[in-house]
Amino acid sequence: MAGFATPSAGGITKLSELLIDADKNWADFGITDIKEIVAGMTKGDLLFFDGAIISKVSPGPIGTMFTTQGPGAAPIWSY
């Protein structure tokens, strides 16, 4: 399987039926090995782009807010 595929010849009727090959190396499109990012995620995780790579941020403590530290800095959980 490569890229995107539909489960039947008639196409799909729901987005949830779309099959995506997340283990594909998308080299020319700047996307590589999405499967590794997604495999390590749990409920509440967020993704952000730091200017070079996509990074994962796990949920912060109760009562904190996801806060930007300005351009070029990674977001943090703060009170």
Cα within 13 Å of Cα(38), Cβ side: 9
78: in domain: no
CA distance 40 to 47: 12
66: in domain: yes
If one counts the domains in the chain, the total is 1
43-79 pLDDT per residue, tens: 888 888 877 778 888 899 999 999 998 888 889 999 9
79: in domain: no
10: in domain: yes
Domain holding 33, by residue range, is 4-72
Higher per-residue pLDDT: 74 or 38: 74
pLDDT band (50, 70, 90) for residue 15: confident
77: in domain: no
11: in domain: yes
